[in-house]
Structure 1
Amino acid sequence: MGRTPLRPDWIALDWGTTHVRAWAMTAGGDVLANTHSASGMGTLGADGYAPALAALTEEWELPQPCPVLACGMVGARQGWVDAGYAAVPTAPLSVPPVRVPDAPEQWNVRIVPGLSQTRPPDVMRGEETQIAGFLSLNPKFDGTLCLPGSHTKWVQISAGEVVSFQTSMTGEFYAALSKHTVLRHSIGTGWDDTAFTEAVSDGLSRPEALAARAFQIRADALLNGMDEATAAARLSGLLIGSELAHARPYWLGMPVAIIGAPQLAARYAAALEAQGVSPIIARADACTLAGLKAAYAAWKE
C-alpha cells in the first residue's frame, strides 16, 4: 500500500537570501510537515521562484489554487515581487500581504511587507513577521526586542506596535573581518566564554577603539600565541559590545526579549546579563511560524 498523500490547506514560507523553509499547514494552523532547500533569493532570477516552490512542495498534494504566504527577502526589490514597507510606528502586520501577480495559476502567493523608518533611515524585511509572532505569543509585552543576525535589529515595542528600530551590521562585520582581513590568520573555530565577556565590556566602554582593539587580536596571536578560539570570542565580544554601546537607549532599564537562533541568542543574552539585564529568549523559527499564521489569519478574514 502506498503512503497517504499529505494534503495541506496552505503553505507558509520563510524565504531568505540563502535558504527557504516551507511548512505544510492546515486551515486551523497546525503543521503537517516542513521542508527546506538552499534556493534562497540570492541564487534565483525572477523566473526561478515558481520552480523552486514547486520543487520544495512536490511531495504534497496541494489545493488548486494553493494559498501561499511568504515572508523574508522574497519580498525584496531583487525578490519575486517588491512587497514594499509599512512605515513605523505601526503594528508589524498593519499592511496586507502583497500578491505576486505573475505566479503560475496553481499558486495564490502573497508576501508580507517589511517595515521602514524615515529618521534615522532604516528597513527590515522578515523580522516584522518574527515580531508579529512573538507578540501573538506574548501579547502584553512592552519593551525591546533584539533580533540578532547578520543585521541585528533593536526594536522598541509599545502597545503592540513597533515604535522605532535600529539595525547594526554586527554579524556581517564579523564575517568580513574574520574571513577577509588579516584577522583570518588568527580566528578559527571554538569559543572562550571569559574572553568574550571581557571583550564585550571593552567594546561597550570604548566603542571608539574598535578598529585598534581588532588589530590587537592579530598582534596578540603573533606575539603571545593567543589561540583561535580566544581570538574568535574576542572579536565577537568587541563587536557586540560596541553594538550595545550604540543600542544603550533600547536596552538600558527596559524589559528585553531576544529572538534568534539558539547559539547567537545565547551570546547576546550573556552580553546583556553582564550589564544587569535578564532577557527573555525566544526561538526565531517558532516566532516566524507564529507570525505567518497570524498574517494568514488576517489575510483570510
Structure 2
Amino acid sequence: MDQIDRLGSSRSRMTGGGFWPKANGDRHMTKSGQRADPPMRDAGATQACADKPVLIGIDWGSSNLRVALVDEHGGLMDRRESPVGVFAVQEGHFAEALLPLCADWLVQHQVPLLACGMIGSRQGISDVPYVTCPASANDLAERLGQVELPPVDGLTPGQAVQLHIVAGLNTGSHAAGWDVLRGEETQLFGLPDGAARLFVLPGTHSKWMKRSGGGQIETFQTYMTGELFELLRNHSSLSRVMSAGPASPKAFQQGVAEACAKGLENLLFRVRTAGLMGRFQSHELPDYLSGLLIGAEIKAGLSRFSPPDKHTPIPLLGSPELTQRYASAFAQFGQAVVEMPGDAVFNGLLRIARAAGLLNRATVAT
C-alpha cells in the first residue's frame, strides 16, 4: 500500500438525490441532494496554528471560485469561495470577482497568488498555452502565465498585483486525437508521488489520467458524462418522462449493469420506454439515466486504459457525492477504487509555486 491508498478510504455506496451531483468546482450539494449556495467566506476553515502563510491558492473553474491561504506544509489556514466561475464573469472583470475574496490576505501577509483552472483559458483572464504530455509539476512551474491585477489598498501605492497562472495540459496529436484539460493536472500533482497508476476525476467533463512512476502525467482522456446527463435530463425528449424525487439505487445499478453488458449505443431510448412501460417510476428515471452514462464511461475507460488488475484501487478525485456514485458503479465492474481528499488542488498549487520559486517573490509587480 502506497501513500495514495493510505490517504483515501475504500468505499462504494450510493448517496441521496436523483439528480447528477455537482462536480468539482461547482456549487455545493446538501446531504439531501439539493443545491445550496456556498457562503462567501468560511470562517470555520481557519486553523488555530502558528504556521506562516506562504501562498494564496486560487482554484477558478468554469462555475466556481475557491481561494485558500496556504501554509508551507500545504495546510489551509483559511479558505473562501464564490459561485462566480469564469463563465459568469462579466466583460472581463476578473479582478473585481477575485480581489474581494483575498485582498485582506494580500495586505496582511503579502504572499504570492497562484491560480489554476479555466482562469487560464481563452474565456479567462489570460490564455496560457498548454503544456504537452508527458508533463511533470516542474514542467508546469517553468511555464506559468502571469498577469497584473489592479493595485490593492494597503499595499505599495500604484503598484499592480501579480497573478501567476498554471498552464493546462494537452495530449499532443496522435491517433486518438487531441485532448485538453485545465485544473485537473494541479489536483493530481497535489497527491503524493508513487507507483504508476490510473486516476479518475468525475465531473461535468470526467478525466481519466495516467501517471508514471516518476510522477509525470503521461496521458488522459475526457468523457462528457456530466454534461450529457444535464442535457438529456433537462433539454431532451427524455426529460418529459423524468421527475424529481427520492434516490433510487436500484435504478442506478440497473443502468450501470445494462451499460456494462451492452454499451450505450441503443440504450438511451430505454429511459423513455422504461417510464412508458412502468419499469421504473418517473422519479427513478434520472438515476437510471445516470447509471447508463456512468456505466458507459467506466466501460470505455477501463477498455482504453486497461488497469493492471481489479484489486489495485483506482483513486477517485472529486466531490464526495460524485465519487461515491462512481464508487458504486465501479463495484459493479469488480474494480477496486479509493476516494481521495477533495482539497488536493491547493497542495498542488503549493508544489508548483515552490518549484517555480514563487514563495520568495514579491506580491506586487516591480
- Structure 1 residues 12, 253: CA separation in 2 closer, same or farther (over 3 Å shift)? same
2:26 corresponding residue in structure 1:
none
- Once residues 140 and 209 of structure 2 are traced to their aligned partners in structure 1, the CA distance between those partners, rounded to angstroms, is 18
- Once residues 144 and 196 of structure 1 are traced to their aligned partners in structure 2, the CA distance between those partners, rounded to angstroms, is 24
Deviates more, 1:69-78 or 1:254-263: 254-263
Preserved contact between residue 145 and residue 258 of structure 1 (Cα < 8 Å):
yes
- Structure 1 residues 189, 81: CA separation in 2 closer, same or farther (over 3 Å shift)? farther
Is 2:281 the partner of 1:227? yes
- 1:181 pairs with one of 227, 236, 243: 236
1:297 corresponding residue in structure 2:
354
2:227 corresponding residue in structure 1:
172
Letter of the structure 1 residue corresponding to residue 316 of structure 2: I
Is 2:80 the partner of 1:80? no
What's the secondary structure of 1:79's corresponding residue? coil
1:206-221 aligned at under 5 Å gives the runs: 206-209=262-265, 212-221=266-275
2:189 corresponding residue in structure 1:
132
Preserved contact between residue 16 and residue 40 of structure 1 (Cα < 8 Å):
yes
- Structure 1 residues 123, 88: CA separation in 2 closer, same or farther (over 3 Å shift)? same
- Once residues 214 and 190 of structure 1 are traced to their aligned partners in structure 2, the CA distance between those partners, rounded to angstroms, is 21
- Once residues 296 and 350 of structure 2 are traced to their aligned partners in structure 1, the CA distance between those partners, rounded to angstroms, is 36
2:179 corresponding residue in structure 1:
122
- Structure 1 residues 217, 265: CA separation in 2 closer, same or farther (over 3 Å shift)? same
Preserved contact between residue 168 and residue 243 of structure 1 (Cα < 8 Å):
yes
- 2:105 pairs with one of 48, 51, 60: 60
Runs of 4+ residues over 4 Å off in structure 1:
6-9, 63-66
1:216-255 aligned at under 5 Å gives the runs: 216-224=270-278, 226-248=280-302, 249-254=304-309, 255=312
1:20 corresponding residue in structure 2:
65
Is 2:218 the partner of 1:163? yes
1:40-95: per-residue Cα shift (whole Å, max 9, x none)?
11022464111112211244352586410101100011111112211111224522
1:203 corresponding residue in structure 2:
259
Preserved contact between residue 81 and residue 101 of structure 2 (Cα < 8 Å):
yes
Preserved contact between residue 138 and residue 356 of structure 2 (Cα < 8 Å):
no
Preserved contact between residue 64 and residue 106 of structure 1 (Cα < 8 Å):
no
1:3 corresponding residue in structure 2:
none
Letter of the structure 1 residue corresponding to residue 147 of structure 2: P
Preserved contact between residue 115 and residue 125 of structure 1 (Cα < 8 Å):
yes
- Structure 1 residues 272, 29: CA separation in 2 closer, same or farther (over 3 Å shift)? closer
TM-score where L is the length of structure 1 = 0.88
Superposition RMSD on alpha carbons, in Å? 2.3
- 2:203 pairs with one of 149, 152, 171: 149
- Once residues 61 and 293 of structure 1 are traced to their aligned partners in structure 2, the CA distance between those partners, rounded to angstroms, is 16
- Structure 1 residues 263, 229: CA separation in 2 closer, same or farther (over 3 Å shift)? farther
Preserved contact between residue 117 and residue 165 of structure 1 (Cα < 8 Å):
yes
Letter of the structure 2 residue corresponding to residue 100 of structure 1: Q
Q: Which has the higher helix share?
A: 1
Q: Which has the higher strand share?
A: 1
Letter of the structure 2 residue corresponding to residue 13 of structure 1: I
Is 2:250 the partner of 1:194? yes
Is 2:324 the partner of 1:278? no
Segments of structure 2 that go 5 or more residues without pairing to the other structure are: 1-47, 151-158, 359-366
- Once residues 337 and 277 of structure 2 are traced to their aligned partners in structure 1, the CA distance between those partners, rounded to angstroms, is 38
What's the secondary structure of 1:264's corresponding residue? helix
- 2:146 pairs with one of 100, 113, 118: 100
1:50 corresponding residue in structure 2:
95
- Once residues 117 and 210 of structure 2 are traced to their aligned partners in structure 1, the CA distance between those partners, rounded to angstroms, is 20
- Once residues 65 and 106 of structure 2 are traced to their aligned partners in structure 1, the CA distance between those partners, rounded to angstroms, is 19
Letter of the structure 2 residue corresponding to residue 200 of structure 1: V
Measure how far apart 1:216 and its partner are.
Answer: 1.9
The count of corresponding residues between Structure 1 and Structure 2 is: 290
Measure how far apart 1:259 and its partner are.
Answer: 0.8
- Once residues 129 and 114 of structure 1 are traced to their aligned partners in structure 2, the CA distance between those partners, rounded to angstroms, is 9
Measure how far apart 1:297 and its partner are.
Answer: 1.5
- Structure 1 residues 240, 61: CA separation in 2 closer, same or farther (over 3 Å shift)? closer
Segments of structure 1 that go 5 or more residues without pairing to the other structure are: 1-5
